[in-house]
Amino acid sequence: MLVISFCIAAIGQLAAEDGSRLWLRFQPQEKSTLPPFTRLRGDASSVALKEFQHAWQEMSGSSLPENGSDRTHTLLIGTLKNREVRKLIKSKELQEPGIEGYIIRTVEQGNRRTTVVASAGEAGLLYGVYHLVRHIQTGHFSNKVEITEQPRYDLRILNHWDNLNGTVERGYAGYSIWQWDKLPGEISPLYREYARANASIGINATVLNNVNATPDILTKEYLEKVKLIADELRPFHIKVYLSINFSSPKELGGLENSDPLQPEVAQWWKNKADEIYRIIPDFGGFLVKANSEGLPGPQDYGRTHAEGANMLADALKPHGGIVMWRAFVYNPTEEDRAKQAYSEFMPLDGQFRDNVIIQVKNGPVDFQPREPFSPLFGAMQQTALMPELQITQEYLGFSNHLVYLATQWKEFLESNTHCLGDESTVANCTDGTLLSHPLTAIAGVANIGLDDNWSGHHFAQANWYAFGRLAWDHTLTAEEIAEEWLRMTFTNDQAFLEPVREMMLSSWETAVNYMMPLGLHHIFAWDHHYGPEPWCEIPGARPDWLPPYYHNASKEGIGFDRTTSGSNAVSQYCSPLSETYNNLETCPEELLLWFHHVPWDHRMKNGRTLWDELSYRYDGGVQQVRDFQKLWDRMEPYVDSERFSQVQSRLRIQSRDAVWWKDACLLYFQTFSGMPIPYEIERPVHELEELKQIKLDLKHHN
């Protein structure tokens, strides 16, 4: 009874939180756990200094004196312009990390100690301050600090799939934060909070609108609204970019067509770029989705992606703008869909302007729960490539499922392409380590909306955070990032941290298992990407819109044959990876059904048949989610009641969904295998025909 009473008392002491403060909660701390700073020095007008003072006041209960004679331990925040900084850190040393890098160092001078946060630029200074605050929040500050950091990628950008009507495509956290209908009359305070959250993890750019862009975004009315958002983000060193519709010259300008090789079309874009930069002088550039899923592009006029991208790049070049041209091409073709991007873009390698960067999804299909990396990485060497990751969980349970994505992204970034030697990981091929291009970049599709907690699920915030941290430094581990986020978002208590961190780290593999294990992919229900529908057949639909195209289940086996005897997608990978994937015995089992059509009785490495292994994987995913529920329930003493209950509720949904996936897939695939579900695992609780009747209306889920 004493223990129970203590737990209830502890719960009562935790004020309810709605998650709106994200990882910037700055909880009050005991004086003994705070750095012994006695004075703050620096430019009082600096955003970096103001941000530190705000955090310090929240954590300590009072501001840090900015004047006075007590200099026992001074915190000095400044750039090379600051004379005190130059006295303590050599200019050359400070210039090496660049204008976004920073140095945090403790300098001893007799009985006086100074901790310096310094950078060659204001942006780096802000990032350095957030790093220092992060160390304080997580209990890792030391009185003897020696840190030098600089970002791995130049451009670390969020892609919003936000529509001008306020909805968000593939967004599961409410309506768009941009609230276009209220601009210019009302500027939401959320814009500054958004900028602060992004700057705290090193994100320095944002695309405001959906890649399925309407030409209206380029009208003067909307450009004036974009300017107001840009003004709010600028103090936090975040540049604004826009997705554009390739047919804008025809749709907006009244031209006969939008052929990129027509002089009047090129002139229209030049004039439009001039107009944009008059309104927003530090505008970043364009993101373009063209000739994909019905959107217009240069191929409509017999032109190439390079000719379309270069025309836009020429218009932006005088202003320092760039073009991010997406390689997500998805047109009707007889070719294996997984091969399309490589087939269209590899012949164009070296033909793009130096201010064009090709944005490539992590996998060759479409943000599936698990994919091999896109073969364009490493192979396309004369053109800058930027990875595109999806933070919003379009194919991983929306905002209902707890799925920590840093583990997925680490697997992708650390995948060895073998195209440039043994160290040619995807990360090394895109961050400037192995290939030299004018710009390096990485993008994440944002999961942000108007929900109080920004992301729909409290744990989905961790994916926004993890993207920023990996974009800054992809050598960080998924474990390190999870622990940072948990400490700042919840508590530093080890009794909470260790089990919840392990839950996060296992959550992606768990989701893969109860959805699409062993390389299965794209077996989602028609018209949305939430539940299972491997049986889906729609008369007249393109084959590559339908699950049977991908799983190819038959009496003989299951999987997509991408070997040299099938679609030959393996040939798009560099040797020896192509041979590894091509061989049934050497192909990684996690990708087995991605590259091979495998007999049901094929023996896996653990001795089970393929059918039995598939069954055990599905059941294992279900059991793991139930373990998540049990674990979270034990965490009640460490979490405020509001967030605890909301996560608990979402885990119930996830547990039910996992059973739905398991039963639907095993019962359906059993009609082909004809083999019994292993008796040791949980029996299905649904009937297949019952599951086939489930129809969810999630088309407009925003």
Catalytic residues: 293, 366, 394
Q: Is 610 helix (H, G, I), strand (E, B) or coil?
A: helix
Token digits of residue 450: 């108007």
Can you list the pairs that 661-664 forms with residues at least 24 positions away whose Cβ atoms lie under 8 Å?
661/514, 661/515, 661/531, 661/532, 661/618, 661/621, 662/514, 662/618, 662/619, 662/621, 662/622, 663/688, 663/691, 664/531, 664/532, 664/533, 664/534, 664/688, 664/691
**107, amino acid identity:** V
Give the span between the Cα atoms of 482 and 500, in whole angstroms. Answer: 9
Decide: helix, strand or coil at residue 77.
Answer: strand
- What burial class does residue 177 get, using C-beta atoms within 10 Å of its C-beta: 0-12 exposed, 13-18 middle, 19+ buried? buried
Phi, psi dihedral angles at 431 (to 5 degrees):
-100, 10
Tell me the CA distances in angstroms from 332 to 345, 522, 541, one per residue in order. Answer: 16, 17, 11
**Residue 621 DSSP class:** H
Residue whose tokens read 């091999």: 372
Cα gap 476→474, rounded to integer Å: 5
What are the beta bridge partners of residue 103?
118, 148
* Contact call for residues 243 and 210 (beta carbons, < 8 A): yes
175 within 8 A of 450, measured Cβ to Cβ:
yes
Instruction: State the Cα–Cα distance between residues 48 and 85, nearest whole angstrom.
Output: 15
The residues pairing with 285 across neighbouring beta strands, listed in sequence order, are: 241, 322
Write out the two tokens for 125: 């200074």
> What b/e readout covers 197-231, taking b as 16+ CB neighbours within 10 angstroms?
bbbbbbbbbbbbbbbebbbebbeeebbebbbebbe
| DSSP assigned state of 572 | G
Distance CA 594, CA 563 (A): 10
Q: Which residue has the tokens 């002139």?
A: 267
- 87 C-beta neighbours (distance < 10 Å), count: 13
SS3 171: coil
Q: Choose among 80, 149, 148, 88: nearest CA to 115.
A: 88
334 contact partners, CB below 8 Å, separation of at least 6: none
Helix (H, G, I), strand (E, B) or coil at 629: helix
Query: In this structure, are residues 402 and 509 in contact, taking their beta carbons and an 8 Å threshold?
Result: no
Task: Please state, in angstroms and rounded to a whole number, the distance separating the CA atoms of residues 391 and 461.
Answer: 9
